[in-house]
Amino acid sequence: MMIFLDSADIKEIEELATTGLIDGVTTNPSLAAASGMSFSELITQITKLVTGPVSAEVTALDAPTMIAQGRKLAKIASNVTVKVPLTFEGLKACKVLASEDILVNVTLCFSLNQAILAAKAGATFISPFVGRLDDCGADGMNLIEDIVNTYEKYEIDTLVLAASIRHSQHVYEAARLGADVVTIPGKVFRQLYNHPLTDSGLAAFMKDWQKSGLKI
């Protein structure tokens, strides 16, 4: 399973990218606005920090302008993935951009029906929002399971990108259910490797090593 970082914080992306464990980055208008940078400069810098897909979202609501914005964003770097909303206009834009061999991430997916349409429109990635479904009293992971199973049944190439991930258990469930990608904030990435038993075990090993007087 690929791990994308959901962030527009250049310092955070740079720090976590040094692990070699970050396969890509997703951004959205809210994250970009909080960065304090021009959008083109932000995406340019991120594409230099990671070699994998970097999602840059359009802000138009009509298909013709989404397409124009998508083409402009795709020219920034070869690893830019144009992000469009799962609306009627967004699906039309996806179809055109995909036909031009531009990577497309269709975002804000909340149903299997939407995911089917995105795949038919040629989406590279479909982004079901797990956490937001949980917030509404639904189980977001049920949607991940439904999409994964349906795509496998019909041999659909669109990659399932689990989004709106709130904690490490979401990552665990997404991996167990067969999601191709999870996109996670930095704090969740750190939750993946932190464990109190690892810390206590390492402390015990170091204490015994220091007592032994041995050297490597």
Active site residues: 83
The residue ranges of DSSP E strands in the chain, in sequence order, are 2-6, 24-26, 54-57, 80-85, 104-109, 125-128, 159-162, 181-184
Buried b (16+ CB within 10 A) or exposed e, 69-93: bbeebbebeebbbbbbbbbebbbbb
User: Can you tell me which residue has the tokens 């509404």?
Assistant: 136
Question: Is the CB of residue 24 less than 8 Å from the CB of residue 50?
Answer: yes
Instruction: Report the candidate in 188, 156, 161 with the shortest Cα–Cα distance to residue 175.
Output: 161
Phi then psi dihedrals of residue 139, to 5 deg: -110, 105
- Whether residue 127 contacts residue 148, with contact meaning beta carbons closer than 8 Å, is answered with no
